[in-house]
Amino acid sequence: MLYDEVLKAVFPLLDGIDLASCMVVCKQWRDIAQDDYFWKCLCAKRWPSICKRPNPPTVTYYKLYQIFNKRQHRQSLLPPRLSFDDLEFFFDIWTDENNENLIFSEVVPGPVLLAGIKVPPPGICDILKFHLEGPDYKMTLPLEPRVKIPLSQTVSVSVLVGRKDSNKVACVINRSMFEYIDRSAYRAMAFEYLDFSPAHPFVPGIRAWISLLFMDDGRDEGVIDVFGIEMDFRDAANSREEVLWLLDMLDWK
């Protein structure tokens, strides 16, 4: 088998990144790898219906693959109009179905929530420890003293946020139940869809998540020992600036 024929047999087996890399090896490889048949095959794998059109596209399949497979770079945000210094968060947690037993109620300044849990307590599981010490953006609050909650009890949470610059308040979570308990990661989670201002009618459903961070009570397997709270907006915001822009769009009253 000739050298060119070997390349023509191998190139259809490659993905787009590898095939593009072959184009910079030498002129011979580039001339063969530019054959639009190879790129049509890649397009057919990624977007099968595009190759069913009766008329070919106005650009080559190589160009088409370049355009639609290009990694989208995130646009940099303008500086947010809010800062965590302008905000304070109101956390309330109840047990029992009638929400009559208030077990935690605290006004938390924005910088405190931003500072988070600097030193995880001893005895927590490795998965949770790695999560807290990891580089991902997070907002956490240590509970001092800790709260012990029987797993048999219903637990709900509300979170409001206030703006010092305008003295307005918005709802983040309203009496949501901690319905999902991940015993492998030692987190109990609740969520609520955010209520945005009418000025932002086309913002899709975005959830605020609250997690209770816990460890097992050594004396009772039916009780969790909660040492912290985590709040995030993982559907849409993964940095301080993104969170502040998201909060700024809430329906402030």
Task: Identify which of 117, 160, 138, 168 has the alpha carbon closest to the alpha carbon of residue 237.
Answer: 138
Cα-only R_g, the chain: 26
What pLDDT was estimated at residue 35?
Answer: 87
Q: Are 102 and 92 in contact, with CB atoms under 8 Å apart? A: yes
- Per-residue pLDDT reduced to its tens digit, 229-246: 999 998 788 889 999 999
What pLDDT was estimated at residue 30?
Answer: 83
Kindly report the number of other CB atoms within 10 A of residue 28's CB atom.
Answer: 11
Question: In the chain, which stretches have pLDDT less than 50?
Answer: none
What pLDDT was estimated at residue 97?
Answer: 62
Which pair of tokens denotes residue 103?
Answer: 């077990």
Which domains does the chain possess? 1-69 (1.20.1280.50), 84-249 (no CATH)
What pLDDT was estimated at residue 218?
Answer: 67
What are residue 160's phi and psi, to 5 degrees? -115, 155
What pLDDT was estimated at residue 166?
Answer: 92
What pLDDT was estimated at residue 26?
Answer: 78
**End-to-end alpha carbon distance in the chain:** 76
Q: Are 92 and 108 in contact, with CB atoms under 8 Å apart? A: no
Which pTM does this prediction carry? 0.68
